[in-house]
Every structure is written in structure tokens, then in C-alpha cells.
Amino acid sequence: MTNYFDEAVKSICESIRFDSSLAKYSSKFPFGKSTADCLNHFLGLAEELGFKTCNYDNYIGEVIFGDAEEEFAILCHLDVVPAGDGWTKEPFGGVVEDGSIWGRGAMDDKGPAVCCLYALKALKDKGFVPSKKIKLIVGCNEENGWSCIEHYNEKAQMPKIGFSPDADFPVIYAEKGILHLRLHFPMPQAPFLHLEGGKQGNMVCDRCEATPRSLTVTKAKKLGLTVQGKKIIAFGKSAHGSTPELGENAILPILEFFAEKSEVVTRILDCVFRDIYGLKELSDETGKLTMSPNVIKYRKKQVLVLVDIRYPATLPVEEVLSRVAKFGVKYETVHFQKPLYHDKNSELVQTLLKTYEECTGKKAEPIAIGGGTYARALKEGVGFGPEMPGDPPVIHMADEHITLERVKLLLAMYEKAIERLTK
């Protein structure tokens, strides 16, 4: 497997250099030209390695290995969240420094996607003939609504079983439900002229700014805010929306600055930060509900707050919404995904768990996460890597990177896992 280590590193770097964050729609480039270029780079590489490929209108593509009737999916994505602030490396530089490959997408999910491709190449080279047609499917809209998966289902046949290398090790048997809600808080008399923060619903807000009608510099500085002319700015720390505790939400200190001047601002704080209606008390074996208000805007005498909720996998979504209704404000569902929940003792879960244990020398148990992966697009799908227990969080954060040692491990582990599941 080490024969393809250098090639994999080079290809990951090349892929990172495409800014595949969501851009303006066009009929030819539904998620932007750079994202389409990234997809075609990946498919072109696969063709050079001797695989059949298909590009479905720059929404999504696939690499095919084998011609059996039964199919097996490996679901990855090439789109990324925006770079955000706070980088010490070039976000789309794709450079190798200090034993790691740096750039947006290195871990989520370009690095693992490339490793899976070279794992298929290694199997092909040694004469492996899969008993199932392997489809390495690479989407371009995982971070923003999954319309790529919808397009694939219209144009092709989705396999029933497979895994997504877009989560955690040892193996993910359950994923919480995902609910993005836009809350409308009427504010006819706002204490600010402008308020805006956050870039995307599934990223903890790392920058928020406002223009107060009256500015108290001492108070602003006490809250850790930066004053620029008539504007106040809060800088936080980005993190994945499913793990808001790993970030610092920049919206909070901005709202705290205005709380004494507005009952509506206090109401927003009570609902989405102080959680007075107890949403975060909801829990089951897959963990507690998390709630992260990641985007805020003041428009037409109302404050709009986009909240990322990850709710326990065995909990009905109606129970969550019944508590949201107590906020007493209009809300709309921007994005919704049902939870994923599988039997821990299934052949798929146990085969991947065994592979992990053999490759790492560590005993482990299947786990549940708050993140959402393409595994939900399958009748029987689970998450399998690339993050290890104890890894410092880098996904959706500044200075995202993947270590060279992790690349080596992924190449070996994915080759072994794919072979066992399709032999």
C-alpha cells in the first residue's frame, strides 16, 4: 500500500487547491466553477488510474470498480465549508509542512476521498476481483443541503450498503438527527443599525459585528469586543456545528452588549444561548441534544437567527419542535435530516470494527456522533474515519490539516476494509 503514499499526498494537495466552497449557481456549474473543476480533477485522476468514471452534470461523480450486479458504496464529498478567519497557513494552499498536509478539506473530506481512490488502485493492482460493483461516489454539496445526492438518485442507482469516510473511528453506528431552523425575532426598535455574523449554518460563528445606535467603548472592551470607528466586532473560534463546545461563538458577546437595551435581545439570549426551555436536556444513548446559533442577521426590523440543532437519534423530531414552539416566534426549517441508527452487531459494523482494531492495535466499541454523513443516504450505511479518538479538532476550523501518518493509516485501513466487505 505504501507504493501509493507519495501519489496520494500529491493528489490531496492538488485537490485542496480548488476552493470548492459553495459559489453562485449556474446551469453548467451548480455549485460554482471551482467546485466543478475539483470534481473533474478527481475523476480525471481516477481515469488515469484505470477506472471508469461518470460525472452527473457537475453535481456529483462516481468511480466504478468491478461489474457485479450487487453494489457497494463509498460515499465521499469534495465540497468544503468557507475558509473562515484565523488561519496561519493558506486555506487553499495544499502545502506539506511539519508532517501534515494543510488546507480546507484536508480531513473533511478530500484527504479521505483520495485515500479511498488509491486503496481501490492498490486492490486493482494485486488482481482483486470484487464480488460487488464498488462505487466511489464523490458529491459536491454535502455541506449545503445534499442536492448532489438528490441529483444522483434521479440519474443513477444508489447502492443499498456502504460506508462514508467522513466521520470518526472506530466506526459510527448512529448519527443524531439534524435540524437547521431560522428563527424570526421581531424587533421594531433595535438598539443597533446593523448586526451580522456567521458564514454557514453548520459552522460555529467566528466573527460577528454590529453598529450600535449609541456606543459605550468601556462596556465593549469589557466584553472583549474590538471597536472600529462606530462598529463593534467580536472574534470567536470556529468549530463544527455538531460540536459547538469546541468553538467560541462570536454572536454571544455582541448580544450581551445590547441585552440591557433590548428585551428582544434578552429573549434571543434566553432561547438560543441560555436554553431556558431545556432543549439541551433531551438525551439518549447517542448523547445530548446540541444547539448552536451560527448565523445572525438584522433585516427589515427583525433579527434572523439560524440555529444548528443535533438531536438524539431515538428521539422524535416532534419533541424537539414542541420545545422550539415555546420560543413564541416564527421559525422555518432550512435543513432536516433524519437520524441514522444501526445494529452494533451487524456484519458491516463488526467488519469495520475488526479492521480498525487490527490496523491500530486498539480494542474499541462502535460510537454515535452528532455529525451527519452521506451514510444516511444508504439503507445500511455507517461512518468510518478519518478522525481518531483523541485527535485535536480541525474539521471546520482554521488550520485544518491531515498528518502524513494518518494518510498512511487510511490507505492501509481502507484497502483492507474494502477488500473484506466486497470479497
Distances (CA, A) of 384 to 92, 199, 302, 343, 362: 25, 28, 42, 15, 15
Tell me the three state secondary structure of residue 23: coil
pLDDT for residue 145: 84
User: Could you tell me the strand order of the sheet in which 330-337 lies?
Assistant: 226-228, 231-235, 207-212, 192-197, 290-299, 302-311, 177-186, 330-337
Sorted by where each starts, the structural domains of the chain and their CATH numbers stand as: 2-176+340-422 (3.40.630.10), 177-337 (3.30.70.360)
Note if 387 is an active site residue: no
- Contact present, 67 and 134 (Cβ < 8 Å): no
Question: What is the pLDDT at residue 328?
Answer: 96
Q: Is 85 a catalytic residue?
A: no
Nearest to 304 by CA among 185, 180, 193: 185
- Counting residues of the chain whose pLDDT is more than 90, the rounded percentage is 95
The kind and range of the H/E element at 172 are: strand 172-175
Q: Per residue of the chain (423 residues), what is the pLDDT tens digit? A: 457 999 999 999 999 999 999 999 999 999 999 999 999 999 999 999 999 999 999 999 999 999 999 999 999 999 999 998 899 999 999 999 999 999 999 999 999 999 999 999 999 999 999 999 999 999 999 998 899 999 999 999 999 999 999 999 999 999 999 999 999 999 999 999 999 999 899 999 999 999 999 999 999 999 999 999 999 999 999 999 999 999 999 999 999 999 999 999 999 999 999 999 999 999 999 999 999 999 999 999 999 999 999 999 999 999 999 999 999 999 999 999 999 999 999 999 999 999 999 999 999 999 999 888 999 999 999 999 999 999 999 999 999 999 999 999 999 999 999 999 999
- The C-alpha atoms of residue 139 and residue 421 are separated, in whole angstroms, by 22
Contact in structure between 12 and 107 (CB atoms under 8 Å): no
E strand or H helix at 254, and its extent? helix 251-258
User: Grid coordinates 441585552 are at which residue?
Assistant: 259
Asked whether the beta carbons of 385 and 164 are under 8 A apart, the reply is no
**CA gap 334, 268 in Å, rounded:** 19
Exposure string of 9-48, with b = 16+ CB inside 10 Å and e = fewer, is bebbbbbbbbbbbbbeeeeebbbbebbbbbbebbbebbee
Cβ pair 375, 163 in contact under 8 A: yes
Residue the block writes with cell 450505511:
381
Q: Which of 62, 79, 248, 308 is catalytic?
A: 79
Q: Is 148 helix (H, G, I), strand (E, B) or coil?
A: helix
Cα–Cα distance for residue pair 292/4, rounded to 1 Å: 40
* C-beta of residue 311 within 8 angstroms of C-beta of residue 176: yes
Q: Which among 71, 108, 109, 142 is annotated as catalytic?
A: 142
pTM greater than 0.75: yes
Q: At what angle do helices 347-360 and 404-422 cross, to 10 degrees?
A: 140
Q: Confirm if 151 and 359 have CB atoms less than 8 A apart.
A: no
Backbone angles phi, psi at 57, to 5 degrees: 60, 30
Q: How far apart are the first and last CA of the chain?
A: 18
